[in-house]
């Protein structure tokens, strides 16, 4: 295969679609950011709640409910998923990762039930008025982008309130939070609920965008969410450095989602088999997680200390 066989025009044509999808996943990533970074809780519920959002929205829209209301209902479905994980963790003492996996697995069955026992459900843009759709990509970018920025602003406000500050404190220092009278169990459940609400909202948007909900649409969502969070942070810190405030963090997480899908667009254009996408995603996340660690380690390694010690004493 020669590189000359690649047509830059196809890449250019595919880009708007990638950006639209990236924004939708960016909203999902903001939900992941809330648990992963603010609460320091590795929440694997999202694979289930993302699908739950998509399934709920599609089933409601096809039964005649207006799309925006269906999206609100999807948000509610996500909240319930988060509550479930939160209760398993705080009330029953199940470790964070396991609590999330339990909800995620349970949601597979629940999602099938939501979709009336079928593995997927179609929602056609010809029959229903949808909020976002791949048929109208510029509109989708505008609407999804608007929703995304609005959510960032709302979250920026929320995490500045007394309640939001208490959540941030819970994530960074549980002992201190308890000593300051914060009920950390309540904070955890609340954050998980809100986070999964956002994830489900994103799922509801993706289902409309692609025209169907599928029981497997959320598989690996957590990895894509983490990819967006990490890519967004790296880029944000590289561009803004110390000027990157909390609002900037949120916006750059969404940007991370967009960049992720742009990269996916490029590797697909480079004729990587679509089946290898998940492998590629996992590798990207692993590299981005490993680089800061390895960098710190190389600055501070035994080997280097030994070498230096030898040189100085010879």
Partner 1 sequence: MSDTSQSMLELINIHKTFNKGTINERPALRGVSLKLSPGDFCTIIGGNGAGKSTMLNAIAGVWPVDEGAIYIDSENITGYPEHKRAVLLGRVFQDPMTGTAATMQIDENLALAARRGNRRGLSWGITRTETEIYQELLRSLELGLEDRMTSKVGLLSGGQRQALTLLMATLKKPRLLLLDEHTAALDPKTAAKVLELTRQFVEKDSLTALMVTHNMKDAIRMGNRLIMMHEGQIIYDVSGEEKKNLHVSDLMEKFNAASEGTFANDRMLLS
Query: SS3 for 123?
Result: coil
What is the distance between the alpha carbons of residues 159 and 161, in angstroms, rounded to a whole number? 5
Query: Does residue 241 belong to the site contacting partner 1 (CB under 8 A)?
Result: no
By the 8 A CB rule, do 206 and 221 touch? no
Query: Does residue 35 belong to the site contacting partner 1 (CB under 8 A)?
Result: no
What is the distance between the alpha carbons of residues 134 and 244, in angstroms, rounded to a whole number? 33
In the complex, the smallest distance separating the C-beta of residue 172 from partner 1, rounded to whole angstroms, is 4
Query: For partner 1, which residue of 112, 128, 173, 237 counts as binding (CB under 8 A)?
Result: 173
* Contact mark string toward partner 1, 132..171, x via CB under 8 A: --------------------------x-xxxxxxx-xx-x
In the complex, the smallest distance separating the C-beta of residue 184 from partner 1, rounded to whole angstroms, is 7
User: Directed axis angle between helix 8-33 and helix 246-269, to 10°?
Assistant: 140
Which tokens go with 272? Answer: 């990587």
By the 8 A CB rule, do 106 and 80 touch? no
Nearer to partner 1, 62 or 173 (CB): 173
Query: Does residue 263 belong to the site contacting partner 1 (CB under 8 A)?
Result: no
Residue 158 sits at φ, ψ, to 5 deg, of -60, -45
What is the distance between the alpha carbons of residues 108 and 101, in angstroms, rounded to a whole number? 11
In the complex, the smallest distance separating the C-beta of residue 190 from partner 1, rounded to whole angstroms, is 11
Nearer to partner 1, 42 or 183 (CB): 183
Query: Does residue 244 belong to the site contacting partner 1 (CB under 8 A)?
Result: no
Place of tokens 């500045």: 160
Query: Does residue 177 belong to the site contacting partner 1 (CB under 8 A)?
Result: yes
Query: Does residue 247 belong to the site contacting partner 1 (CB under 8 A)?
Result: no
Nearer to partner 1, 164 or 265 (CB): 164
In the complex, the smallest distance separating the C-beta of residue 193 from partner 1, rounded to whole angstroms, is 16
What is the distance between the alpha carbons of residues 253 and 126, in angstroms, rounded to a whole number? 33
Q: 54: number of CA atoms within 13 Å, CB side?
A: 34
Query: For partner 1, which residue of 63, 175, 275, 311 counts as binding (CB under 8 A)?
Result: 175
Q: Which residues bind partner 1 (CB under 8 A)?
A: 158, 160-166, 168-169, 171-173, 175-184
């Amino acid at each position: 295969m020669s590189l000359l066989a690649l047509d830059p025009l196809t890449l250019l044509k595919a880009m708007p679609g990638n950006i639209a999808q990236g924004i939708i996943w960016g909203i999902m990533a903001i939900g992941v950011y809330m648990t992963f970074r603010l609460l320091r809780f590795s929440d694997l519920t999202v694979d289930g709640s993302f699908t739950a959002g998509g399934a709920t929205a599609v089933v409601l829209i096809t039964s005649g409910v207006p799309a925006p209301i269906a999206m609100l209902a999807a948000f509610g479905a996500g909240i319930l998923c988060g509550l479930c994980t939160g209760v398993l963790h705080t009330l029953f003492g199940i470790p964070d990762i396991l609590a999330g996996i339990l909800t995620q697995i349970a949601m597979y069955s629940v999602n099938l039930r939501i979709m009336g026992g079928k593995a997927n459900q179609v929602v056609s843009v010809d029959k229903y008025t949808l909020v976002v759709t791949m048929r109208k990509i510029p509109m989708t970018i505008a609407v999804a982008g608007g929703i995304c920025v609005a959510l960032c602003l709302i979250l920026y406000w929320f995490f500045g309130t007394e309640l939001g500050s208490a959540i941030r404190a819970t994530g960074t220092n549980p002992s201190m939070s308890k000593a300051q009278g914060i009920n950390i169990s309540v904070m955890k459940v609340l954050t998980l609920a809100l986070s999964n609400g956002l994830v489900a909202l994103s799922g509801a948007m993706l289902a409309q965008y692609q025209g169907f909900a599928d029981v497997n649409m959320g598989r690996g969502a957590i990895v894509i969410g983490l990819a967006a969070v990490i890519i967004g942070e790296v880029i944000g810190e590289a561009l803004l450095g110390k000027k990157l405030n909390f609002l900037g963090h949120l916006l750059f997480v969404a940007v991370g989602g967009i960049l992720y899908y742009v990269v996916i667009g490029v590797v697909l254009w480079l004729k990587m088999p679509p089946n290898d996408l998940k492998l590629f995603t996992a590798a990207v996340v692993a590299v981005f997680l490993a680089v800061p660690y390895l960098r710190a380690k190389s600055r501070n390694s035994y080997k280097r200390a030994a070498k230096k010690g030898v040189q100085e004493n010879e």
